[in-house]
Every structure is written in structure tokens, then in C-alpha cells.
Amino acid sequence: MAYLFTSESVSEGHPDKVADQISDALIDNFLAFDRDSKVACETLVTTGQVVLAGEVKSHTYLDVQKIARDTINKIGYTKGEYMFDGNSCGVLSAIHEQSDDINRGVDRATKEQQGAGDQGMMFGYATNETENYMPLALDLSHRLLIELAALRRENKEITYIRPDSKSQVTIEYSDDNIPQRIDAIVLSTQHDDFADDDTMLAKIRKDIVGILIPRVKAKLPKDIQALFNDDITYHINPTGKFVIGGPHGDTGLTGRKIIVDTYGGKGAHGGGAFSGKDPSKVDRSAAYATRHIAKNLVAAGVADEILVQVSYAIGVVEPMGIFINTYGTCSFNMTDGEIAEIVSKLFDMRPFAIEERLKLRSPIYSETAAYGHMGRKNETITKTFTQPTGESVTLDVELFTWEKLDYIDKVKTAFGL
């Protein structure tokens, strides 16, 4: 019997994502001037106010208020009528020195012996149902909001959109887990005030269905385009008016969108957030590493769908263990335990090895803080950072290294494919 599966996404203007982006902007600036910085920074945003709190060990000094304000303005909160804008909001910093008791478990005489920054388990997942090896419902949810943000910035076809928005997509699957059609799309977008509520709702629905959806569909592969149909149930701004939004509508906190950040409810999640953490925190680095493993295994043909788990003890170099689940889709006669044994030899999962393999001590994190950390485009860009002293540094950084399919040949060789 066919079944339905749903995933959601939130925009860069969602209050929790505003907080994530500020935290990751701080990470990038610390790493740009001191690649050995240890940072755990949380952000709270609410009406007219930003609160920064956390622990830092670094040789650089930053104007954290300016970084927060620049990030907020870049997102699009630039008007006083939003009751939260980068130029006028208050910014309170309660960032302090990292505990020596924590740091002693991480720093070692040789970097190769770096211990894990915390205990816990991290998961990576991949499926071959999309070109980027991501679950389809989440991929479409992200795409809707990325395109909506593009329309907002263009300010031509749709001129009334504000930064805060959410999406949700429901996919109908066959018994053998193949996407059959899109069953429902939910989209709520913050907007300017209209004189008449009925006119407002009709206009927004018409523009979302008639402008946004075709733009998203046009950028998809033909097989995914075929899943769009005339029977899709649309819920566009289902509560009606959505003028009050962003941090004025809801308080935002770093790390509250961990399922949006990963796989939309597919696979599993260890519970640790990513944003605001330097790569010594395995919550972040090992989650990227397990995604890298899962994606390369699926791309190499080991299985159609794979979940990878790794676990650590704080201050301990070697992981506690690696677990693999192929959901019965393995393409050859090998148990998941046997696959895990080969994977543990093929991928060095010591914290420092992960940092080196995926180039995680670069300022690459602002780009991860909205629209998902997984399934994104691996590319090299140039970024410039400036200290309060006026000193600037320009760096070429490689984004989303964990999305590279650079282990396919090694995987095929290891498994005899």
C-alpha cells in the first residue's frame, strides 16, 4: 500500500535561522583570523534584541556586534516596521573564555591525538532518490524557500514578501519506496500588510502557485518534474494574515532546526546542533563526515539507501564504533556489520583526521546556516573578513566538502564493485 512522507524547511528569515546565521558568522570570523579557535556560541533573537552567549578560546578579537548586525541586514531585516532590523536592534554579548576542563580533553601535544570535543552519536544519511542523494520531500522544501528568497530580493514579480517563511512537502511513495507524486505543498510567507484580507490571500496564493512553483519546477530533473500534478493540495498561508513575523513574531534560538538542517526526518539524528560550533565539536564535524561516507557509499552502488552512525567519548581520540544500516537495499551479499568493518578501515574518523579530510578549519560555515547543511553544492568561493583594527584577510574557501564524491573509486575497490 502506498504511503505518505513529509518534510519541512524554514527560510533564512525564520527567527531560529537568524540565530543560526549569526552564530556561524561568528565562527567564520574567528576561524578566518585564528584557525585554531575553539568556539561554542549561542544566539537569541527577539523583538529589537540580540543576545550572544558562549565560550571562546581564540587569539583574535572581533566586533561581535557589527558581525551580528551585518548578518541581520544581509538576511533582509532592514526596516523598522519589522520591529527587528540590523541597524537599530540591541546586541548584548555574554561570550566568555572556554573552560580549561573541556579544552584539556581536546588539545594534545600532537594534533593527530586530538580528542573528541564531546560525547554523543552522530548520523549521516544518503538515498539515491534525488541527484544530490537527499530525501526528496526535504530537497523540494528547501528549493521552494530558496526560490522564494530569490523572488523577494529581485522584488519584481512579487514585491510584498518579507524574510520569514516556512515550507512543507508531502510525497506519496509506492510500496517499494519509489516517489510517485507530490501529494501536498504547504507554504507560509511573511508579507507586507494589505488593505483587504481577502484580496491578500487570493493574491498570495495566485503568485505562489503561478510564479513560485513553475520557477522551482523548471530547475528540477525531468523525472522529478513529472511528480507535480493537478491534484496537489496547496495550503498557502493557511492561517491567513502573516504580517508579524521574524524575531518579532517568535523568539529565535541557535540549534532549534536540527531536522531541517539534516534529512527532514529520514534516517536518524543524534540530537546535536551544528551552528555556532567549531569543528572540534564532533556534533558538527562527525555529522558531516558520516554524510560524506553515506553519500559516497550510495553513489558507488553499495546500497540504494544508507544510514551511518558514529559515536564518541569526550577527550577520546578513536570513535566508540561505527554502525551501518542499508535498510535491506545492499546490492551484494554482505551484512551491514561487514560493511561497517570495511568502512571503519576506509575512513579515518579521528576528530583531527575529519577536520583535515574535509577542510573544516576554514571559514565555511555561514553558508551552511540556512537551507540545510547537507545536499548542497560543493564549490570554492572567495571571502573577505575585517577585524575592528581594520586588518583584512581574503581567503579562497571550499564549501560543503562533505558533499564531494571523492571516495567512489576507493569504495568500489574496497567492496569489489
DSSP per-residue codes, 117-144: SS-EEEEEEEETTSTTSS-HHHHHHHHH
What are 229-232's contacts with CB under 8 Å, separation 24+?
A: 229/181, 229/182, 231/181, 232/182, 232/183, 232/184, 232/185
292 labelled binding-site residue: no
241 labelled binding-site residue: yes
| C-alpha to C-alpha distance for 274 and 284, rounded to whole angstroms | 5
| C-alpha to C-alpha distance for 176 and 173, rounded to whole angstroms | 8
164 labelled binding-site residue: yes
395: exposed, middle or buried (Cβ count in 10 Å: 0-12, 13-18, 19+): middle
CB atoms under 10 Å from CB of 300, counted, come to 20
345 labelled binding-site residue: no
142, 9 Cβ separation under 8 angstroms: yes
pLDDT band at residue 271 under the 50/70/90 scheme? very high
pLDDT tens figures, 196-222: 888 899 999 999 999 999 999 999 999
The residue with cell 558581525 is 67
pLDDT band at residue 283 under the 50/70/90 scheme? very high
228 labelled binding-site residue: no
Q: What value does the mean pLDDT take over residues 395-403?
A: 98
Q: Which string of b and e fits 314-327 if b means at least 16 CB within 10 Å? A: ebebebeebbbbbe
Q: Determine the CATH number of domain 120-127+257-266+279-415.
A: 3.30.300.10
197 labelled binding-site residue: no
**Residue partners of 203: CB distance under 8 A and separation at least 6:** 194
34 labelled binding-site residue: no
206 labelled binding-site residue: no
Q: Which of 88-102, 134-148, 298-312 has the lowest mean pLDDT?
A: 88-102
Q: What local confidence, expressed as pLDDT, does residue 269 receive?
A: 97
Ranges of each domain in the chain: 3-10+136-247, 16-107, 120-127+257-266+279-415
- CATH T-level topology, domain 3-10+136-247: GMP Synthetase; Chain A, domain 3 (3.30.300)
Q: What local confidence, expressed as pLDDT, does residue 246 receive?
A: 96
166 labelled binding-site residue: yes
pLDDT band at residue 103 under the 50/70/90 scheme? low
First to last CA, the chain: 33
| C-alpha to C-alpha distance for 204 and 254, rounded to whole angstroms | 30
What's the CATH class of domain 16-107?
alpha beta
98 labelled binding-site residue: yes
User: Is the confidence at residue 104, as pLDDT, over 60?
Assistant: no
How far is residue 166 from each of residues 9, 45, 109, 198, measured CA to CA in Å? 6, 18, 47, 21
Q: Which residue type, as a one-letter code, is found at position 96?
A: H
3-state class (DSSP) for residue 108: coil
217 labelled binding-site residue: no
Q: What local confidence, expressed as pLDDT, does residue 45 receive?
A: 98
14 labelled binding-site residue: yes
281 labelled binding-site residue: yes
Q: What value does the mean pLDDT take over residues 332-354?
A: 96
Q: What value does the mean pLDDT take over residues 127-146?
A: 98
User: Is the confidence at residue 371, as pLDDT, over 90?
Assistant: yes
3-state class (DSSP) for residue 312: strand
277 labelled binding-site residue: yes
Percent of the chain with pLDDT over 90: 91
